[in-house]
Structure formats: structure tokens, C-alpha cells
Amino acid sequence: MADVRRGLIIVNTGPGKGKTTAAMGTALRAVGNGMKVLMLQFLKGSWHYGELDAVQAFGDRFVMKQMGRGFVKVGGAETDPEDIRLVEEAWNEAAAAILSEKWDLVVLDEINYAISYKMLDPEKVAEVLRRKPEMVHVILTGRNAHPTIIDLADTVTEMREVKHAYQKGIMAQRGIEY
């Protein structure tokens, strides 16, 4: 069993810090093994994250794309149709990337939020994950991972918040939070 290679479905969820950055750590590990990584960030877009510049050094071996606008107003009728359109667009690109076999690892950052905000149907995601190419790894991040996705996943980690600097009134720090 130890030598069997196969693509995994990995979920980083829970309320504690570290979901996105753990995915980036795994991505770095994969790139170091000669694998190609695509990271698509759902809902993100208004903040400039340091990692966007850092991965440029890897050229087409590690590509990161922001697919949203950042501040998203959600909840039933409040959800802006434009944000839903952007999520659909991000999902179409994600599905195509997973099925293309062009990438060894595809990271779908914050996709769990998009699903929990009802901006994306978990069944659509599950359908693609079920028929993903055998060797492709997929990481899905974000709080409140849907039970359907957790069910399909091989490895699920729930980040638990013990404490966060934010609770002491310390604002997001450059290089740590963005």
C-alpha cells in the first residue's frame, strides 16, 4: 500500500487560522517535487496578498488567480448576482482545470465559503470530484465545508481556534494575514 500513488481530495476547514496558508504550504511542497500547481481563489479580489507576488517566481509551475471581488454581501436576496456570476465563472475554470490533467494539484481556496453561502451547488462540485483524473490532487479550503464534500474527501482537517490576535484588537498584519 505504501507505494500506491493516487490523487487525493483534501479539505482544510474550521474556524481557526491556517486553512489557506496550509494549502499554500502543500502547494510549495508539490512544486518542489516537480509538480504543477494551480490555485484559484474564490471570493477574493480586493486585497493584495503577498503570495500573489511570491508565486510569480515559479512561473507556470505555480499559478495563483483571484477570481472574485473580495467584499461579498451574502444571504438570500442580499447576494449580489455579480458575485454569483464570478463564483460560477471560477467554478467553470476550476472544473476545466481539474479535468484537463494539466495540473497535478488544484487548490480551490475559499470554495467552501462559496458553497456555504449558497453561491455554488455542492452537487456540481461533487460530480466533478467523483470523476477527477486519478492522479490529480484537489485541496478545498474555507469554513463550514459541506457534508457532501467532507464525505468525498480523503483527508479533512478542521482548524480549531484556540485564540486569535484579532480578539485582542490587533488588526491583520502584513506578511501574516495578507
Which residue ranges make up the site for Mg ion (CB under 5 A)? 19-20
Q: Which residue in 140, 88, 133, 134 sits closest to 112, CA to CA?
A: 140
Nearer to ligand ATP, 96 or 170 (CB): 170
Nearest to Mg ion of 19, 137 (CB atom):
19
Assess 161 for contact with ligand ATP (CB under 6 A): yes
- Nearest residue (CB) to ligand ATP, 21 versus 148: 21
Print the binding letters for residues 105-134 with ligand ATP: x by CB under 6 A, - otherwise.
-----x------------------------
Closer of 61 and 143 to ligand ATP (Cβ): 143
Q: Over the range 116-137, which residues count as b (16 or more CB within 10 Å of their CB) and which as e?
A: bbebbebeebeeebeebeeebb
**Candidate list 7, 8, 21, 126; residue touching ligand ATP; CB under 6 A:** 21
Q: Is the dihedral of CA 116, 121, 124, 127 positive or negative?
A: positive
Q: Tell me: does residue 158 bind ligand ATP (CB under 6 A).
A: no
Per DSSP, 58 falls in state: G
Q: How far is CA 110 from each of CA 57, 59, 70, 134, 175, rounded to the nearest angstrom?
A: 24, 23, 11, 23, 19
17 binds ligand ATP (CB under 6 A): yes
Buried b (16+ CB within 10 A) or exposed e, 58-73: beeebbbebbbeeebe
Q: Minimum distance from CB of 134 to ligand ATP (Å)?
A: 28
38 within 8 A of 97, measured Cβ to Cβ = yes
Q: Does 19 bind ligand ATP (CB under 6 A)?
A: yes
Three cell numbers written together for 119: 453561491
15 binds ligand ATP (CB under 6 A): yes
* Residues at the contact surface with ligand ATP, assessed by CB under 6 A: 15-21, 110, 141, 143, 159, 161, 164, 166, 172, 177
